[in-house]
């Protein structure tokens, strides 16, 4: 007869695995530092892929969240026929994983990525514009994209380099979409959904837009 155990037994067992809050924080920090190291290595050296002799690097890739493949390459005759492997991590695969995290990221996640130099506002805006171009022909949720969005993103990146993180708001460098009835003084139309107002570029921002700009937000475009 199979003996049934209550949830309390499993919770008590889980608590004895030696992994507490301090250990979890250390593992998370290790993953972040490892990922940042690989990104820096591949970006600064303009690498499309990283190939290393031996499979020892595979666990490090896994810690950093990068997909890696180890394949047998030869046999070391000095080690009694021990197989020698090559480990491969392709940048395109890593970037796809990064794109997926952007889709699911909160504003807090994005700000954390900014601070850890894992992401720039320009990269974020480019990602969103790419997604809009791909999905909007079907969804038709975006009326127009702000032609100045990339310039605003570059400005945010420059400010982040010279200003103290504490002086920047939680919306700094974050792209924002506005409804078509909220006035903006840039190159975007303010039509309230009316064709009769197409080409209407107002002389000043609405109050809420002023606050968003003062907070460092990027006006990405117009929502339908």
Sheet with 175-179, side-by-side order of all strands: 142-145, 218-223, 175-179
DSSP string, 40-84: HHHHHTT-SEEEEESSTHHHHHHHHT---EEEEEEEEGGGTSEEE
Residue 114 lies in a domain: no
The answer to whether residues 167 and 139 touch, using CB atoms and an 8 Å cutoff, is no
- Residues 86-137 pLDDT 10s: 555 554 444 444 444 788 788 888 998 898 888 899 999 999 999 999 999 9
Same domain, 210 and 154: yes
Residue 61 lies in a domain: yes
Residue 153 lies in a domain: yes
The answer to whether residues 119 and 110 touch, using CB atoms and an 8 Å cutoff, is yes
The answer to whether residues 50 and 89 touch, using CB atoms and an 8 Å cutoff, is yes
Same domain, 129 and 213: yes
Same domain, 86 and 152: no
Is this prediction's pTM over 0.85? no
By residue range, what is the domain housing residue 168? 120-223
Number of domains in the chain: 2
Same domain, 164 and 84: no
Cα distance between residue 224 and residue 209, in whole Å: 17
Residue 12 lies in a domain: no
Residue 157 lies in a domain: yes
Residue 100 lies in a domain: no
Residue 105 lies in a domain: no
The answer to whether residues 149 and 182 touch, using CB atoms and an 8 Å cutoff, is no
- Residues 43-57 pLDDT 10s: 666 655 665 655 555
Same domain, 210 and 125: yes
Residue 7 lies in a domain: no
Same domain, 147 and 57: no
φ, ψ of residue 111 in degrees (nearest 5): -65, -35
Same domain, 128 and 189: yes
């Amino acid at each position: 007869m199979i003996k049934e155990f209550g949830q309390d037994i499993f919770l008590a067992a889980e608590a004895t695995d030696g992994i507490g809050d301090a250990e979890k924080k250390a593992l998370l920090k290790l993953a972040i530092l490892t990922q940042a190291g690989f990104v820096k290595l591949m970006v600064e050296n303009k690498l499309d892929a990283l190939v290393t002799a031996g499979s020892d690097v595979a666990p490090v890739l896994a810690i950093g969240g990068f997909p890696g493949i180890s394949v047998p390459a030869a046999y070391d005759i000095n080690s009694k026929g021990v197989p020698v492997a090559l480990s491969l991590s392709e940048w395109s695969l890593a970037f796809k994983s990064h794109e997926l995290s952007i889709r699911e990221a909160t504003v807090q996640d994005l700000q954390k990525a900014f601070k850890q130099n894992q992401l720039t506002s320009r990269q974020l805006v480019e990602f969103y514009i790419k997604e809009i171009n791909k999905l909007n022909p079907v969804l038709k949720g975006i009326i127009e994209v702000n032609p100045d969005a990339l310039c605003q993103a570059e400005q945010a990146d420059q400010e982040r380099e010279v200003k103290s993180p504490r002086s920047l708001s939680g919306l700094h460098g974050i792209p924002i979409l506005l409804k078509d009835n909220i006035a903006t003084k840039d190159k975007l139309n303010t039509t309230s959904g009316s064709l009769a107002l197409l080409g209407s570029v107002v002389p000043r921002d609405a109050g809420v837009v002023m606050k968003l700009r003062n907070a460092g937000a990027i006006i990405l475009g117009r929502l339908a």
